[in-house]
């Protein structure tokens, strides 16, 4: 590290000892970072090719108002997503408000009263509890007579194939596979492992719809779950595929039938994909998608760097520093509410927006416990930008992700580690 760089780190509140430790760790990561850059290059070309194939033009960036009939940019963007994910169709809309909304939309549009939903990798992310009806809520799947069954992973993190086979029955209509860990200490699924699970499920019942919650996993590998048999892949545009620029939105990519069902549920029977104005967000959606592979690479580098820094400080992390990554999330098991809060304060203090505010735990909608969130982002709540959050409950894990540029991700991790040391 040059004297000039060392000086500005100290001005920004990072001790020389910690900054030097960071440089030592960083020098050992050259090969891993090179591999990440190669994946980003592949995915960048894949996105570029998808845009060129769909003949994206300047006219696609103008948007529409009102009903949104004949919205060239909206329809072309959906073609681009279908090209990237190698699916028959896609639904990509600003009217999809968040990842939970996208997942709920995919579930509610493709399940009918009397059907059963199966989650074969344990309970899904907390915000789906009320969607499914695990916790009673107005409009849940349970209220519509849709039952739910769950098979947990085995203690070693592998699939309980016998349990899954026994859980599948004549009512099983849709299987929801969450790749990322959510607020659980369990392995993130690689695309390859996801494909193996889908293949097994289809061998038991070939007409079941396999839907993958792809949040935080897009562009981490060179293939996506739709390349290995998923009927639907679902995600949020304020995560990886939005590239830090998309201000709102979600996507569902999959079979024509699944997407048709989702479109009719999002708008209205008889209207489907034909309506839904894109307003003025298309330039950000297109450019964010174009940048997404390199932004995801920055987030991956930040997660790996963080895991090494924290392990060096004696903090238990998951995945471990040396393990291969299949999403951008890094869990740090802090075992103390004070440490959890201190870490989040460090991430917030490193933010470009609202760096001067102090995050506090609060009763956040959709969660059973109080949650603390640090996210001084240009897009509110964007978790592709450097952010950290965690529930105030044992084992007091913090889950952090993002960093739309690697230098900011590096600084944010150093700041969070500094706050842990200072506390």
Token pair for 285: 């959606």
Q: What pLDDT is recorded for position 338?
A: 94
pLDDT confidence of residue 137 = 94
Tally the residues of the chain.
423
255 and 305 fall within a common domain: no
Q: What is the CATH number of the domain that holds 81?
A: 3.40.640.10
Q: Give how far the C-alpha of residue 55 lies from the chain's centroid of Cα atoms, to the nearest Å.
A: 28
Q: Give the pLDDT of residue 3.
A: 84
Closest to 363 in 3D by CA, of 331, 389, 342, 391: 391
Structural domain harbouring 33? 3-43+292-422
Residue 55 within any structural domain of the chain: no
- Both 101 and 11 in a single domain? no
The rounded distance, in Å, linking the Cα atoms of 360 and 354 is 13
- Cα-Cα-Cα-Cα torsion 250, 251, 252, 253, nearest 10 degrees, comes to -170
Whether 380 and 349 map to the same domain: the answer is yes
- The list of the chain residues with pLDDT below 70 reads none
My answer on whether 34 and 72 are in the same domain is: no
Residues of the chain above pLDDT 70, percent: 100
State how many domains the chain has: 2
pLDDT of residue 289: 98
Please say whether the beta carbons of 141 and 111 come within 8 A.
yes
Q: What is the pLDDT of residue 184?
A: 77
Residue 313 sits in the same domain as residue 324: yes
Tell me, what's the pLDDT at 377?
93
* 54 lies in some domain: no
pLDDT digits (tens, 9 = 90+) for 186-200: 889 999 999 999 999
Same domain, 355 and 268: no
Residues 363 and 388 in one domain: yes
């Amino acid at each position: 590290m040059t004297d000039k760089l060392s000086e500005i780190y100290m001005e920004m509140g990072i001790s020389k000892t910690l900054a030097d430790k960071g440089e030592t760790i960083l020098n050992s990561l050259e090969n891993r970072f090179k591999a990440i850059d190669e994946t980003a290059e592949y995915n960048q070309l894949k996105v570029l090719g998808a845009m060129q194939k769909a003949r994206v033009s300047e006219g696609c960036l103008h948007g529409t108002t009102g009903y949104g009939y004949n919205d060239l940019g909206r329809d072309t963007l959906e073609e681009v997503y279908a090209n990237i994910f190698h699916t028959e169709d896609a639904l990509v809309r600003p009217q999809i408000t968040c990842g939970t909304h996208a997942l709920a939309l995919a579930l509610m549009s493709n399940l009918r009263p009397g059907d059963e939903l199966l989650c074969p990798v344990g309970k899904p992310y907390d915000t789906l509890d009320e969607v499914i009806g695990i916790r009673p809520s107005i409009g849940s799947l349970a209220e519509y007579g849709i039952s739910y069954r769950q098979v947990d992973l085995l203690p070693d993190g592998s699939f309980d194939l016998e349990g899954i086979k026994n859980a599948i029955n004549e009512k099983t209509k849709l299987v929801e596979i969450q790749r990322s860990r959510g607020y659980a200490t369990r392995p993130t699924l690689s695309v390859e492992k996801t494909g193996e699970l889908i293949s097994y499920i289809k061998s038991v019942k070939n007409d079941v719809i396999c839907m993958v919650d792809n949040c935080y996993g897009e562009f981490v590998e060179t293939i996506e779950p739709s390349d290995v048999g998923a009927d639907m892949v679902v995600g949020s545009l304020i995560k990886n595929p939005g590239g830090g620029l998309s201000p709102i939105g979600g996507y569902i990519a999959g079979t024509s039938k699944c997407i048709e069902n989702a479109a009719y549920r999002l708008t209205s029977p008889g209207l489907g994909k034909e309506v839904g104005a894109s307003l003025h967000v298309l330039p950000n959606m297109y450019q964010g998608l174009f940048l997404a592979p390199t932004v995801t690479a920055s987030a991956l580098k930040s997660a790996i760097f963080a895991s090494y820094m924290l392990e060096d400080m004696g903090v238990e992390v998951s995945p471990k520093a040396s393990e291969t990554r299949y999403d951008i999330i890094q869990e740090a098991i802090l075992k103390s509410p004070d440490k959890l809060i201190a870490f989040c304060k460090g991430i917030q203090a490193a933010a470009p927006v609202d760096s001067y505010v102090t995050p506090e735990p609060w009763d956040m909608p959709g969660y059973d416990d109080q949650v603390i969130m640090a996210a001084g982002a240009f897009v509110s709540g964007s978790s592709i930008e450097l952010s950290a959050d965690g529930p105030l409950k044992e084992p007091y894990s913090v889950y952090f992700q993002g960093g739309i540029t690697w230098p900011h991700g590096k600084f944010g991790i150093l700041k969070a580690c500094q706050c842990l040391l200072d506390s």
